[in-house]
Amino acid sequence: MTLLLATILFASPAKPLNVLFLGNSHTSVNGLSATVVRFLESDGTGRKVKAQLISGPDLGHLWAQKRVQDTIKEGGWDVVVLQGQMISMSHKYDYSKAEAISLANLAKKSGAKALFFAEWPRANNDESDYIYNIYADIAKKSGAEVVPICYAFDRSTRAKTKLSLLGSDGNHASPQGSYLGALTIYYWIAGIDAKPSVHAEHGVTNEVAVTLHAIAKEVVEVSRKKAGKVPTAAQWRTS
């Protein structure tokens, strides 16, 4: 599980990379999945990416759809990115994880690498550890991996980018936040030695883009090295 996906997926640069995204509005807003694809196609490997996004309110609803299961079973996917586990906003309730586990298991059975996308914390909520641990438990039970986007947001606090990574509702990412989320997924797939073109977009200047690339790479590198002992939100913000 600690091997870089790059050594598995990119032995032949000419081989197309097929990525399926399953998630809710956190994945679809601001074109996060499309931004991941742009980075994957911009790092000099010459790879072409086939990507598909299927949206739903949560992973439970997505699992219940026959078309979702059929899409995964069709095979040919190298990576399936899963986002939208039901999480208690008050942190007081537990929701079924069986559907998320089933989706990851189906993806793996079909020959894909299953990646869970751990969402960023809401405004004024210290909840990254809570979110990450829920996904980590699902990953442990399914053999999947967790892309700790929540900790990339925490790390950005220490970097003092002065960017607002959250939208006006305090829940969804701003365009800049989606940019950071996409970068974290990208480096998790391609490896920290990958060198994508720096896209100055969504209000992100070249200077800030370089900072966000560095944050995403650091979070991916440290999280992979630490395996089950990923730093806490407080450590990402201050250490």
Per-residue pLDDT tens digits for 168-189: 999 999 999 999 999 999 999 9
Q: What does the pLDDT average to over 70-94?
A: 96
Q: Which two tokens stand for residue 115?
A: 């990646």
- Of the two residues 196 and 27, the one the predictor is more confident about is 27
| Of 7-16, 27-36, 107-116, minimum mean pLDDT range | 7-16
Q: What percent of the chain has pLDDT over 70?
A: 91
- E-assigned strands of 45-151? 49-55, 79-82, 113-117, 145-147
What's the pLDDT at 14? 52
- Evaluated on CA atoms 89, 127, 85, 164, the torsion sign reads positive
pTM here is 0.92
Q: Is the pLDDT of residue 6 over 80?
A: no
What's the pLDDT at 1? 46
Q: What is the pLDDT of residues 34-72, one digit of tens each?
A: 999 999 999 888 889 999 999 999 999 999 999 999 999
Residue bearing tokens 């040919």: 76
Three-class SS of residue 56? coil
Q: Which two tokens stand for residue 130?
A: 């809570």
Q: What is the Cα 201 distance to its own chain's centre?
A: 19
**Distance from C-alpha of 156 to C-alpha of 17, rounded to nearest angstrom:** 29
Q: Which residues contact 147 (CB under 8 A, 6 or more apart)?
A: 81, 115, 116, 117, 118, 184, 185, 188, 220
Tally Cβ neighbours within 10 Å of residue 159.
15
Q: Is the pLDDT of residue 11 over 50?
A: no
**Distance from C-alpha of 228 to C-alpha of 140, rounded to nearest angstrom:** 10
Q: Are 85 and 114 in contact (CB under 8 A)?
A: no
What's the pLDDT at 204? 76
Q: Give the pLDDT band (50/70/90) at residue 159.
A: low
What's the pLDDT at 10? 46
Q: What are phi and psi of 5, to 5 degrees?
A: -60, -25
Q: What are phi and psi of 224, to 5 degrees?
A: -70, -40
Q: Which residues contact 143 (CB under 8 A, 6 or more apart)?
A: 1, 104, 105, 108, 114
Q: What is the largest CA-CA distance in the chain?
A: 48
Q: Are 151 and 129 in contact (CB under 8 A)?
A: no
What's the pLDDT at 2? 46
Q: What percent of the chain has pLDDT over 90?
A: 76
Q: What is the pLDDT of the chain when averaged over all its residues?
A: 91
